[in-house]
Amino acid sequence: MTPNRAGTRFTSRTTSLVMLLAVALALAAGGANAGDAGESVYAGMPEPDAFAAPVGVAAETGPTDANYQISAAKITLKAGKYALSRFDGANKLLKQRTVSFATAVRFRAANEPVLIDGQLFTLIDGGTWQGWHVATPDVVPTSPTAFAQPRNVLLAQTSHKGFRFHAAGRIQTHRVATLSTAAMSETTKEAFFGSKKHYLMSSGPLAGRWVAKSASASLQPATSSGVTVSAPLVTWKTLVLVYREIDVTYKRSDGTDYRLRARMSDYMYDLALSSVRRTVQTVHKWSGSMAALDMDVVDVPHPVTSLTPLGSGYWVGPAAVKPDLDEYAPAGRYDSIVVIFLPKDAAGVVIPVPGWGLTLKPGAWANGAGFSSVKTPLENWWWTDVTYPEEVFVHEWMHQVLGFHETTGHTDLGLHDDAIYGYAKVDGTYKAWLSDVMQGLVTAGTTRLGMDAAAWGAGKPTLP
């Protein structure tokens, strides 16, 4: 399930009157922590390009295709005492009981834990205790090793369990993926749980879960993936700012103020880092080795505390994180900036952000760099059940690239113009379109459009 795109492209051809009107409308929409968008440096800033969120709902039992089927989640509670809790729709505690199990018990469970008052809980979704939650803090594995680039794990044609371990190992959840053919899935980390080595899967049906090393799940040697590697013509220095927490007050459509506070789970954090880091390798491949990213990632040690009005909604624009841009990305240091933030709290309230990703071309608003703001998925399958979870980041970065080279006169191609040139989604991804744009292979009559070698070599924001 790959995103459908929506939104109008604003380019240098857009009249200044329209751009100023967009800013005026945004300012008139009211404020979240007022004053976010009023500085003079943002005069004439265009409306950001939008990448719309996927539509549809993943099946409760998970994705099914010709290659695999995946079960619903199960939770195992080892023998002992547990505090079980019931919450209402606003995650307010209704009841709590202490329950003892003489032997290990297993129940059907919700696929993902929820964060309630800073603690992770898993919903028991079957059996005697259906509707009750149990606290499921993550276990810290021993000897964890993060791979510099994702590695491949060969999964044999059989059933595989993907685990999460909780509460000092007393609780575990798992799902079973049954593969009809052998397949490769990517992993970003290996670690030991007890005496067994496990791989944290970052793609495939068990993404976000740990799979034990075995004869049917083997780590493959690191290779260049058969891609001809050559020196890139340009390397964009890129900064990723990850905000694990958010604490903002904004005005809802009914006119009331709402304070939204939330913290990104370790699971979502791992998904976010895995997805954005895949962008480095994908940019190199899809550009035919002409472009590269040199990526720094910063875990910002404080919450997002401000939102920028945008039409009838909000986004985490450059004005909302201006102090952090000045600290981590002063003018001349980076070509590209990406912000990742959490838009949803434990009660299920979601900030009305008009896009999965939103991007501004390089400009004064981001100290000369391009700026993209990407929210974590409202549904995990946006990243776990797609071929290229990094596609949202590739797409947003290409808005920055095309916006920069529009102003230099090296290209005038709209990233949302795929249908105009005969492109469409193939196997759930816009890879064919994006890679042709990134190699200057889009055909318009006898003309080739996009980022050819001359365009890539013509500069970047820090080397115009």
Say how far apart CA 198 and CA 289 lie, in whole Å.
Answer: 33
**Model pLDDT, residue 108:** 95
- Domains of the chain by residue range: 16-58+230-456
Asked whether 153 and 218 are in contact (CB, 8 A), the reply is yes
**Model pLDDT, residue 114:** 87
Global pTM? 0.65
**Model pLDDT, residue 56:** 56
- Cα-Cα-Cα-Cα torsion 289, 294, 295, 296, nearest 10 degrees, comes to 170
Q: 248-277: buried (b, 16+ CB within 10 Å) or exposed (e) per residue?
A: bebbeeeeeeeebebbbbbbbbbbbbbbbb
Asked whether 72 and 61 are in contact (CB, 8 A), the reply is yes
**Model pLDDT, residue 451:** 95
**Model pLDDT, residue 380:** 83
Say how far apart CA 71 and CA 73 lie, in whole Å.
Answer: 6
**Model pLDDT, residue 67:** 65
Mean pLDDT of successive 10-residue segments in the chain (464 residues)? 39 33 36 43 73 62 54 94 93 94 95 87 93 94 88 90 94 92 85 94 87 94 50 95 97 94 91 92 94 96 96 95 97 98 93 96 96 94 86 97 88 92 89 96 92 93 92
Nearest to 142 by CA among 190, 83, 181: 190
What backbone phi and psi angles, to 5 degrees, belong to 161?
-100, 135
For strands 447-449 and 49-51, give the pairing: unpaired
Say how far apart CA 388 and CA 148 lie, in whole Å.
Answer: 18
Nearest to 435 by CA among 395, 377, 387, 393: 395
**Model pLDDT, residue 42:** 58
**Model pLDDT, residue 338:** 98
